[in-house]
Structure 1
Amino acid sequence: MTARFNHTIIASLDAAATAAFTLELLEGTELPSWGPFINIGIGDGVMLQFAEPPIEFPPQHYAYLVDDAHFDRAVATIRAREQDHWADPQRTRPGEINTEHGGRGVYLLDPSGHYLELLTRPYL
């Protein structure tokens, strides 16, 4: 059997706020939560678990592949919130999206300071 990605725990300053933010942006589904985890589901049966660890954590990078219509809705949401976003991970092109790799992409920060990337075409 080929390995498939199943779930990950995303360290959060405020698990509820970060889960709600991600749920809306990714148009995910609420899943049953337990223990310290607030869980949401995204495509291919992947579960994202948000938790508040008792330690400081460095920001991570999470990239999500979305279709063109979802990308348009997400960018509209980002702009309606007047949320900072960039066309590049170095944050040198504020307020823009990119058209690299044969698709479109945008970078933003979630409420816990993690770098999120939405892209419409995979790199490979």
Structure 2
Amino acid sequence: MNLVLNVIWLFLSGFWLFVGYMFAGLLLCVTIIGIPFGIAAFRIGVYALWPFGYTTVERSDAGAPSCVGNVLWLILAGWWLTLGHIVTGLLLCVTIIGIPLGIANFKLIPVSLWPLGRKIVPTDQPFTSSRW
């Protein structure tokens, strides 16, 4: 079922969200200071391209630098990438077939707002922290 949802997702919204994240990543990588944010954008872009079967979990080793980085991310790229998820999610929820995809778009909002300190893991292994 994940494969079917991912293929439908890819055509209806995944590709455009992926392009948005890649564009943001390229812009952020222009400066040396922005490279970690660009890498985060690339990582989330791949997740936004093929989201079903994966989830995000908080990293236990993330601390204050991740919090500061998330605030900078929100200012630099997070707000307009999140806006893309909101608009796409609302448009997908107009049809009955698109409702699960719209909900998936809304589930991507937290990681698009605060990506640092999170990692993307398969849904069959949600407890892959450094402790396990």
Would you call these one fold, judging by a TM-score over 0.5? no
By relative contact order (CA 8 Å, sep 6+), the higher-ranking structure is 2
Q: Normalised by the size of structure 2, how large is the TM-score?
A: 0.31
Structure with the bigger percentage of helix: 2
Q: Normalised by the size of structure 1, how large is the TM-score?
A: 0.32
